[in-house]
Amino acid sequence: MNRIHVIDSHTAGEPTRIIVSGGPRLQGGSAAEKLEFLRQRHDLFRSAVVNEPRGSDVLVGGILVEPANKSCVVGVIFFNNVGYLGMCGHGTIGVIATLAHLGRLKPGEHKIETPVGIVTATLHEDGTVSVANVPSYRKAKGVTVEAPDIGVITGDVAWGGNWFYLVENQGKAIQLSDVEMLTDFSWRVRKAINAQGFPEVDHVELFGPPLGAGAHSRNFVLCPGKAYDRSPCGTGTSAKLACLAADGKLAEGEEWIQESVVGSRFTASYRRHGDQIIPTITGAAYVNAETTLLLNESDPFCWGLRQNGHAG
Ligand code: PYC
């Protein structure tokens, strides 16, 4: 029986499960190398932690690792129901809230190593967290795709720590009552953009007018395993800022309030970094469970129910 100590939190409604102890020993120096070791040797562990019956498709997991870069307080590898994430904005806010809950961090600046670079998280006195993300940029503007039963869609491809296809004004209201339709729409769009020369895109982000006062935009973000992000998505908001900056629609240091499909918010801004930007995303996470997962190999669903329908 393996015992895995985890702390669960949510950031703007999106859940994060951080493995604090009991995970596999990961060989490799950097977080990127450790991710490859986890993927090659212990992928079932990922599934056991986040998939049903212990988790759900919505859950993002993170395993804390020894950072190779000693300026970092910790390293983290994020994963979901189908694989691994380069970075995760809501998850990083969850990591900081988790470490603060454990008494391992005080308010101030803390560097965190991720597989795609070092991010700087600031824990504020009021418990909110600002994450200065990895350099973000737009790769392609105005990419038109034709999706079955949808027609022609135009959007931008951008990097914010993960790859996004960002679509404005797709004619659909971004509302919680329509998430099934938005999921189906975004999934078709994702297949179309992948087929059209952008196989790296694994998140689709749709935008519409905000519903809440003071917000600039509302989004729906479809994640790689077909779950939608309950938060405004930290890496997705970073990709959005890269596009706004490239179009001259948001000045350096100006505030952007991104609302999610559930109505939660991140506040964001950016500074220039050569021809890329460094976005900063601010939000709050709340710890809501501290528990021990039991991995009993005689349980037929010990390693989680995977999307291909297989147990273990
Ligand atoms: O906040 O960056 C994010 C994120 C990625 C996937 C789910 N949330």
Which is the closest atom of ligand 1 to the Cα of 281? 1
3-state secondary structure of 297: coil
Q: What is the pLDDT of residue 306?
A: 81
Q: What is the pLDDT of residue 169?
A: 82
Maximum alpha-carbon separation in the chain: 58
Cα–Cα distance, 283 to 290 (Å, whole number): 21
Cα–Cα distance, 231 to 134 (Å, whole number): 19
Cα–Cα distance, 194 to 198 (Å, whole number): 5
3-state secondary structure of 269: strand
Q: Are 20 and 5 in contact (CB under 8 A)?
A: yes
Which is the closest atom of ligand 1 to the Cα of 235? 2
Cα–Cα distance, 293 to 4 (Å, whole number): 5
Mean pLDDT by 10 residues, the chain (312 residues): 96 98 96 98 98 97 98 98 98 98 98 98 98 98 95 97 95 94 97 97 97 97 98 98 98 98 98 98 98 97 80 53
Distance from Cα 229 to the centre of ligand 1, integer Å? 7
| Beta-strand runs (E) in 163-303 | 163-168, 203-208, 217-222, 256-259, 265-273, 276-283, 285-295
Based on DSSP, count helices (H) and strands (E) in the chain, helices before strands. Answer: 5, 17
**Catalytic residue selected from 72, 223, 233, 243:** 233
Distance from Cα 27 to the centre of ligand 1, integer Å? 26
